[in-house]
Amino acid sequence: MRRFGARLITVLLVAAGASFAQEVVDRIAARVESDVILLSDIRALSRYQVFMDGKAESEGQILDRLIDQWIVRNEATVSRIAQPTDEDVERSLTRLKKSFSSVAEFDERRKQNGLSEEDVRRMVKSQLYLSSYLDTRFRPSIQIDDKAIEDFYQTRVIPRAKSRNQEPPSLEAARDFIQEALVQKAIIEQEDKWLKESRSRVRVEILLMEGQK
Q: What is the DSSP string of 120-149?
A: HHHHHHHHHHHHHHHHHHHGGG----HHHH
Residue 14 has pLDDT above 50, yes or no: no
Number of neighbouring beta carbons within 10 Å of residue 154: 12
Set out the domains of the chain in order of their start, with CATH numbers: 11-141+202-206 (1.10.4030.10)
Number of neighbouring beta carbons within 10 Å of residue 210: 10
Please give the Cα distance from 89 to 81 (Å, whole number): 15
Q: What is the pLDDT of residues 101-146, one digit of tens each?
A: 999 999 999 999 999 999 999 999 999 999 999 999 999 999 999 9
CA dist list (Å): 139 to 7, 36, 186: 19, 31, 8
* Per-residue confidence (pLDDT) for residue 26, from 0 to 100: 87
Are 14 and 123 in contact by the 8 Å Cβ rule? The answer is yes
* Per-residue confidence (pLDDT) for residue 213, from 0 to 100: 46
Please give the Cα distance from 101 to 96 (Å, whole number): 11
Q: Could you give the residue ranges of the DSSP H alpha helices within 31-116? A: 39-53, 59-78, 86-98, 103-112
> Which amino acid does the sequence have at 93?
L
Bigger pLDDT: 208 or 32?
32
Residue 21 has pLDDT above 70, yes or no: no
Please give the Cα distance from 202 to 25 (Å, whole number): 28
Q: What is the pLDDT of residues 139-172, one digit of tens each?
A: 999 999 999 999 999 999 999 999 999 999 999 9
pLDDT confidence bin for 25, thresholds 50/70/90: low
Q: What is the pLDDT of residues 29-56, one digit of tens each?
A: 999 999 999 999 999 999 999 999 999 9
Gap between the terminal Cα atoms of the chain:
30
Whole-model pTM: value is 0.78
